[in-house]
Amino acid sequence: AQKITQTQPGMFVQEKEAVTLDCTYDTSDPSYGLFWYKQPSSGEMIFLIYQGSYDQQNATEGRYSLNFQKARKSANLVISASQLGDSAMYFCAMREGWSGYSTLTFGKGTMLLVSP
């Protein structure tokens, strides 16, 4: 079974509107972390936001917020007030456990296109 599932291969949004990128995960480890990264066409991976499994509140970072629904095992990324520069590939990722050897597992990604 896939550990990280991103069901939206592509999403379109108009500038200044909000958009939600879906992510569901699968783990039996009670300790895990969920991450969102942005990858523009240049290829660099840009860290956006992090949510720990024990965090009580949803994480927020500027225009990014993470809608964490633990019982449903979902960690959707919400981008408010989209900008043209938000057009990129977005990856959801999970790290299980807290050891130094824990690795990130990535979803297949969602391509977001922001139109004027």
Partner 1 sequence: GAVVSQHPSWVICKSGTSVKIECRSLDFQATTMFWYRQFPKQSLMLMATSNEGSKATYEQGVEKDKFLINHASLTLSTLTVTSAHPEDSSFYICSARFAEEQFFGPGTRLTVL
Distances from the Cα of 93 to the Cα of 9, 48, 51, 56, angstroms: 15, 11, 11, 19
Quickly tell me which residue has 């690795």 as its tokens.
103
At its nearest, how many Å lie between partner 1 and the CB of residue 112?
Answer: 14
7 Rama class: left (phi>0) / alpha (psi -120 to 50) / beta? alpha
- For partner 1, the closer of residues 12 and 47 by Cβ is 47
Contact string (CB under 8 A) for partner 1, positions 64-83, x = contact: --------------------
Contact (CB, 8 A) for 50 and 59: yes
> By CB under 8 A, how many residues form the interface with partner 1?
21
Contact string (CB under 8 A) for partner 1, positions 21-60, x = contact: ------------x-x-x----xxxx-x--x-x--------
Q: Does 106 bind partner 1 (CB under 8 A)?
A: yes
CB burial string 21-30: b at 16+ within 10 A, e below: bbbbbebeee
Q: Contact region for partner 1 (CB under 8 A) — 23-31, 53-61, 62-70, 101-109? A: 101-109
* Site residues, partner 1 (CB under 8 A): 33, 35, 37, 42-45, 47, 50, 52, 91, 95, 100-101, 103-109
